[in-house]
Amino acid sequence: MNEPDIVSLDTADPLAVKRDDFDLPEDKVYLDGNSLGPLSHRARQRAQEVIDKQWGQDLIASWNKHHWIDLSIAVGAKIAPLLGASPEQVVCCDSVSINLFKLLSCALRLQTDRSTIVSEQDNFPTDLYIADGLSQLLGEDRCKLRLVNEACLERALDDDPAVLLLSHINFRTGRLHDMQSLTRAAHQRGCLVIWDLSHSAGVVPIELDHWQVDFAIGCGYKYLNGGPGAPAFLYVAKRHLANVNQPLQGWMGHSAPFDFEPGYKARDGIGQFLSGTPPIISLSVLDAALDVFADVSMEMVRAKSIRLSELFINLIKQNRSLAELELRSPTNSDDRGSQLAYAHPSAYAICQALIAAGIVADFRSPDLLRFGFSPLILSFQDIQHSVQSLASIIVEKRYLEQGFNQRLRVT
Amino acid sequence: MNEPDIVSLDTADPLAVKRDDFDLPEDKVYLDGNSLGPLSHRARQRAQEVIDKQWGQDLIASWNKHHWIDLSIAVGAKIAPLLGASPEQVVCCDSVSINLFKLLSCALRLQTDRSTIVSEQDNFPTDLYIADGLSQLLGEDRCKLRLVNEACLERALDDDPAVLLLSHINFRTGRLHDMQSLTRAAHQRGCLVIWDLSHSAGVVPIELDHWQVDFAIGCGYKYLNGGPGAPAFLYVAKRHLANVNQPLQGWMGHSAPFDFEPGYKARDGIGQFLSGTPPIISLSVLDAALDVFADVSMEMVRAKSIRLSELFINLIKQNRSLAELELRSPTNSDDRGSQLAYAHPSAYAICQALIAAGIVADFRSPDLLRFGFSPLILSFQDIQHSVQSLASIIVEKRYLEQGFNQRLRVT
């Protein structure tokens, strides 16, 4: 694809204008929105307002006056449409790990005669650690984690597990599961599903209600752009809401927290999944960040995400000097999220050289370069520039210089 | 006490200068630092830096460059001296509720042949809810919550409970437990202790190490001034650190989180109590807020706290028109934290009238007015002014006007 064609892609891009909503460093192309989404102007303004005005001036009164007390529910309701969920089925609080613990406990309680959690060997590790922690707490007769490879997932359902726990998009390769068909297959065997949407929420169309998903979790700091460590969300299907009780029952999940009764009585609905007091500053920032989605559809976002990824793949293919890079993501765009992984024996050093050149990609051990495509901030010319930089680093072997191979602890 | 005497108390106050560290509303006296501590200049500056510079410009690189990855440990180490703890025994993450769940699980695992958690009927409810949630998850044979009145606490130890779970300071009355003696009594019966320091950290001298406390939790948003819903802390005695494992094991508690191994291997030391990704903006704000303690000792803070409280009590006593107010806090200052509770049949309306007059107190159902004394921001003249306002509201029966009795949901 030649230069004028790429310029015309940007000219025709209906999402190009969204970049103005963000405060991006001028000297970088940011291909790591799949790890940490960028700062939006709305997020910055809201942080200032919540700190200076709400906390600073109105102090304790802000719990009512500025609706802090309802913020977890309100932010959940704002995330819901991005997931194909009704507003009353999503709440925002705690971390993905903590929320998964709540949902796994609920799912196992619903499955009185089953105890196995099936997941993938290369699921995002924190999900596996949490399942393992629950298993150790309850004992293997009540909760046993079984890890299988992707190819064996459907077969594992034949053994009647209690819960199928999967990430919608694989954090390394970007491989996208068919959520609808796997959910249906699980339900046919009486198995409940929990989907981790951390790498898909805000970048891939999702239809939790329509696909009959039981439970889901996901994080606020990747494509939702909620800021570092932004609170996470959780989703519970309407049909389960009246039949579950989660063990991390804190005062914010009580039906009348300010009655300070010694006995716990859970709120009705999704609010029962709240535990302690949420981090209001971080939660407010996420709330404001979500407003950038108000005028875009997930279909538009997905269409641009695919175009960005395909352009990246094609530009790499066209460049013979990049032949050493081996695509480890699915080649069919329907089977991928908004990220690509390429293997290279010097992946770590190349990644460092790229970052030094202003192209922020990331590295996953042992040999993967990972490129994330945030459709709200990236142009097609950014993709072209990134591949050109990558090519010049590899052609000129610049990654062998300047200590790029000196390993730091990277995220 | 007459006017010149009170002015001289302020003149002689070595902590008077600390007020300049805070950004307080000019038209209010804030007697609710026991619910939500005020905004400090350092906290505001840090929020701006972490949002504009770290997140906005340095993006994902900030996990290393600005030490986000170590922030939970660093903030824990900064809180530790306020608790009489070594830096490597405290970590800052999650909420009080979540952290209590971790510690209760650990304590019960250490007590292989005991299963009862003893606590007080009027402990802060979220602590009781969490214990109840764990009991429902594990079954009463492994975890049973028993609530007793304060008078029966020591006797309850005769039944060999596994864990004694208490708040250092009662959230309603401000009653202060003798942590050292209750801990010793529990240990004599082979019982472990968990102290909730939410209402005492940052305002009362605490010696966790010296008093041989096993475990403690506490919140960051009261006297530590970390902002609304600031992350909480937890403490584990050195002797237990190598022998515990907590069930909410997320990737931040892994010994090598960026190796992304499917199997969990806990970090050594206090870092094993981390779970998911912490809310970095809220955590950074707390980190900066803690710097106001760098040049004050807890003994100085405590001495002023007692003087403020005693002045308040004496001014109320001296004013006959305030005779209807009944002190529900211990009369001996050694038995109190930094807050006072007064009962009055119209407490709710009086509280609303006080707030309208710029005196921010709070109300606890059914009939308690609660006044908190943050020694870093309050002057003795503030106390005088507050009691004068309270007297005029009661004498003039202003609380009967203007719909002050209309109940809002208050925090």
List the pLDDT tens digit at each of the 411 positions of chain B: 677 799 999 999 999 999 999 999 999 999 999 999 999 999 999 999 999 999 999 999 999 999 999 999 999 999 999 999 999 999 999 999 999 999 999 999 999 899 999 999 999 999 999 999 999 999 999 999 999 999 999 999 999 999 999 999 999 999 999 999 999 999 999 999 999 999 999 999 999 999 999 999 999 999 999 999 999 999 999 999 999 999 999 999 999 999 999 999 999 999 999 999 999 999 999 999 999 999 999 999 999 999 999 999 999 999 999 999 999 999 999 999 999 999 999 999 999 999 999 999 999 989 999 999 999 999 999 999 999 999 999 999 999 886 787 665 444
* Closest residue by Cα to residue A275 from A285, A290, A264: A264
Indicate if the pLDDT at residue A238 is higher than 80: yes
Write out pLDDT tens, residues A260-318.
999 999 999 999 999 999 999 999 999 999 999 999 999 999 999 999 999 999 999 99
Do B251 and A280 make contact, defined as CB atoms within 8 angstroms? no
pLDDT tens track for A91-131: 999 999 999 999 999 999 999 899 999 999 999 999 999 99
Q: Could you identify the residue written with the tokens 């981390």?
A: B274
- Contact of A410 with A362, CB cutoff 8 Å: yes
Catalytic residue selected from A42, A78, A328, A370: A370
Residues of B annotated catalytic, as ranges: 124, 196, 221-222, 370
Burial of A151 (0-12, 13-18, 19+ CB in 10 A): exposed
Distance from CA of B142 to the nearest CA of A (A): 10
Measure in Å the smallest separation between the Cα of B166 and chain A Cα atoms: 13
Question: In whole angstroms, what is the distance from residue B38 CA to residue A183 CA?
Answer: 48
Q: How far is B293 from chain A (nearest CA, A)?
A: 19
- Say whether B360 and A60 touch across the interface (CB within 8 A): yes
Does the complex come out with an ipTM higher than 0.95?
yes
Whether the pLDDT of residue A398 is over 70: the answer is yes
Interfacial B residues in 204-233 facing A (CB < 8 Å): 219, 221, 227-232
* Interface residue B48 vs chain A (CB under 8 A): yes
Check if B410 contacts A (Cβ < 8 Å).
yes
Question: Chain A partners of B62 at a C-beta cutoff of 8 Å?
Answer: 228
> Which pLDDT does position B116 carry in this prediction?
98
CA distances from B355 to A281, A285, A301 (A): 24, 28, 48
- Contact in structure between B177 and B211 (CB atoms under 8 Å): no
Of B137, B232, B277, the CB nearest to A229: B277
A223 part of the active site: no
Helices B380-395 and B298-318: angle between axes, nearest 10 degrees: 30
pLDDT exceeds cutoff 60 at A388: yes
Residues of A in contact with B32 (CB under 8 A): 59-60
A344 and A326 in contact (C-beta within 8 Å)? Answer: yes
Check whether A409 has a pLDDT greater than 70: no
- Report d(CA A34, CA A37) in Å as an integer: 7
pLDDT at A408 over 60: no
Q: What's the pLDDT score for residue B294?
A: 97
- For this structure, is A404 an active site residue? no
Q: Is B199 on the interface with A (CB under 8 A)?
A: no
Q: What pLDDT does B269 receive?
A: 97
Chain A interface, mutation test: which of B64, B69, B282, most A Cβ atoms within 10 Å? B282
Token code pair at residue B229: 């819903």
Round to whole Å and give the CA distance between B78 and A65.
32
User: d(Cα B262, Cα A354) in Å, to the nearest integer?
Assistant: 29
The shortest C-alpha distance from A4 to chain B (Å) reads 30
**Beta-sheet strands, E only, within A219-271:** 232-236
Burial of A333 (0-12, 13-18, 19+ CB in 10 A): middle
Nearest CB to A44; choose among B51, B250, B411: B51
Say whether residue B151 is in contact with chain A using an 8 A CB cutoff.
no
Asked if the C-beta of B101 comes within 8 angstroms of chain A's C-beta atoms, the answer is: yes
Residues of chain B with C-beta less than 8 angstroms from the C-beta of A285: 51, 281
The confidence score (pLDDT) of residue A313 equals 98
- Which residue of B119, B126, B143, B265 is the best one to mutate when testing the A interface, meaning the one whose CB has the most A CBs within 10 A? B126
* Statement: residue A411 has pLDDT above 70: no
User: Is B136's CB within 8 Å of A277's CB?
Assistant: no
Q: Which of A26, A282, A285, A286 to mutate to test the interface with B (most CBs of B within 10 A)?
A: A282
> Which domains, and CATH codes, for chain B?
3-30+297-400 (3.90.1150.10), 45-293 (3.40.640.10)
Q: Which of A45, A104, A126, A233 to mutate to test the interface with B (most CBs of B within 10 A)?
A: A126
State phi, psi for B47 to the nearest 5 degrees: -60, -45
Out of B51, B95, B264, name the one closest to residue A47 (CB). Answer: B51
Residues belonging to chain A: 411
Contact A281, A47 (CB under 8 A): yes
| Cis previous bond, A366, omega within 30 | yes
A22 tagged catalytic: no
The set of residues, in sequence order, having a beta carbon less than 8 Å from that of B396 and lying 6+ positions away, is none
Q: Point out the residue among B47, B59, B69 whose CB comes nearest to the CB of A51.
A: B47
φ/ψ (deg, to 5) at B304: -70, -40
**For A328-337, how does the pLDDT look when each residue is reduced to its tens digit (9 = 90+)?**
999 999 999 9
DSSP state of A15: T
* Phi, psi (degrees; rounded to nearest 5) at A327: -65, 125
For residue A410, is pLDDT > 70?
A: no
Q: Which residue of chain A comes nearest to B55, CA vs CA?
A: A39
Q: Say if B360 is an interface residue toward chain A (CB within 8 Å).
A: yes
Question: If residue A216 lies in a helix (H) or strand (E), which one and from where to where?
Answer: strand A215-218
Catalytic residue among A32, A196, A214, A287: A196
Report residue A385: phi and psi, to 5°: -60, -40
- B409·A134 Cβ contact <8 A: no
Judged by CB atoms closer than 8 Å, whether chains meet at B125 and A25 is answered as: no
Measure CB to CB from residue B125 to each of A59, A96, A262 and give the nearest one.
Answer: A262
Q: Which two tokens stand for residue A205?
A: 């169309």
Beta-bridge mates of residue B359: B29
Nearest to A126 among B35, B232, B251 (CB): B251
Cβ within 8 Å, pair A262-B411: no
